[in-house]
Amino acid sequence: MTFDSQAYAVQLEEKVTRLRDLLAPFDAPEPAVFDSPLKNFRLRAEFRLWREGGDRHYAMFSQEDKRTPILIEAFPIASLRINELMPQLKAAWKASAALSHKLFQVEFLTTLAGDAMITLCYHRPLDEHWHAAASKLATDLNVSVIGRSKGKREVIGHDYVVEKLDVGGRTFSYRQPEGAFTQPNGTVNQKMLNWAYDALGDRPDDLLELYCGNGNFTLPLATRVRKVLATEISKTSVNAALSNLSENAVDNVTLVRLSAEELTEALNEVRPFRRLQGIDLKSYEFGSVFVDPPRAGMDPDTCELTRRFDNILYISCNPETLAANIAQLHDTHRITQCAMFDQFPWTHHMESGVLLTRR
């Protein structure tokens, strides 16, 4: 793969044009554009292992052909740390039957701050020989190691990495657990966080956040408002978010494990939820809502819920569903800011953001 800056500029402009066209019916302002490094931008990678020539190789498969492996020695879009670790890990499994026996998949998770974790997946139970070899591997490579076999997980070191991101003049620390969603492009994520921080601005009222994940946006946005009610359905992400709030001494956030649809029912007083016991929803003075939904966007009821708020700050990984949601809200809210974040260079995917303000 070549990393030609001119080719990248052309592709970036195509994405901007696509977003501009999708938002044109809503009189959107010109989007701010946040580009990506051309290579070494991806902080996580997952490889199957493929036997050929008596050896195991890192392998990936194209969307069009799930049977023919693409053998990989280096992965230039991945972080420098992943590229450094790949040959070191390969040498380690070649030298150790305890590490290599029935090993079929490898996952790397790294951070801009330099932390790293390797997950090794096996078609066999893990024994004391594996544990001894994996402990040596963790020490030699200065990483945490997770071993996975059917129904079992062994942790050597930590089952998370720690990221540090600078937003609004402050450094935030993020615990990112193994197996949980994290933003793959750390450099662009930091740009995205700063855009959202600036777009929200300092506010005297409260923020509702839907789909908060591990608190990626929650931490900096909480410093802009009186208090936050945040929701997330994944237990792993909720636990990580609680750790991150504590680690960063952010104490004005209440986090509940509810889906966006369940919270809508709670706010509409359709039915009570045990997980909201002790939380007085009527004590909040919500002026803004922040949403970062999955690719399907917001369902119609959740979209209708956001209409109640003066400001809707929306980060999207799918510009088509973003446009569909804005169409539902356009009669009461207008786009006052928008942005394109190139989280996924060399693909057609992109992240975008809009601030919608009540007319």
pLDDT tens-digit map of 287-332: 999 999 999 999 998 999 999 999 999 999 999 999 999 999 999 9
Q: From CA 190, how far away is CA 259, in angstroms rounded?
A: 26
Among 107, 219, 217, 116, smallest CA distance to 161 is for 116
238 touches 232 (CB < 8 A): yes
Q: From CA 184, how far away is CA 189, in angstroms rounded?
A: 8
- What pLDDT does 122 receive? 98
- What pLDDT does 295 receive? 92
pLDDT averaged over every residue in the chain: 95
Cβ contacts of residue 275 below 8 Å, gap of 6+? 256, 257, 258
Which residues are annotated binding-site positions for S-adenosyl-L-methionine?
183, 211, 216, 232, 292
Torsion of CA 11, 14, 16, 20, to 10 degrees: -170
What is residue 290's DSSP assignment?
Answer: E
Q: Catalogue the active-site residues.
A: 317, 351
Q: From CA 293, how far away is CA 214, in angstroms rounded?
A: 14
pLDDT (tens digit, 9 = 90+) per residue, 33-63? 999 999 999 999 999 999 988 889 999 998 8
Q: From CA 59, how far away is CA 180, in angstroms rounded?
A: 22
> What is the phi/psi pair of residue 167, to 5°?
-135, 125
* Helix (H), strand (E) at residue 178: none
**Mean pLDDT computed over 124-140:** 97
* Helix (H), strand (E) at residue 97: helix 97-100
Q: From CA 20, how far away is CA 22, in angstroms rounded?
A: 6
Among 210, 150, 157, 216, smallest CA distance to 181 is for 216
Whether the per-residue pLDDT at 1 is higher than 80: the answer is: no
- What pLDDT does 180 receive? 86
pLDDT (tens digit, 9 = 90+) per residue, 12-25? 999 999 999 999 99
Q: Which domains does the chain have, with CATH numbers?
A: 5-38+183-358 (3.40.50.150), 44-161 (2.40.50.1070)
Q: From CA 157, how far away is CA 318, in angstroms rounded?
A: 36
Partnered with residue 45 across adjacent β-strands are 108
**Mean pLDDT computed over 142-158:** 97
323 touches 19 (CB < 8 A): no
Which residues are annotated binding-site positions?
183, 211, 216, 232, 292
Q: From CA 292, how far away is CA 295, in angstroms rounded?
A: 9
**Mean pLDDT computed over 136-157:** 97
- What pLDDT does 311 receive? 98
227 touches 284 (CB < 8 A): yes
pLDDT (tens digit, 9 = 90+) per residue, 225-271? 999 999 999 898 899 999 999 999 999 999 999 988 888 888 888 88
Indicate the SS3 state at residue 103.
Answer: strand
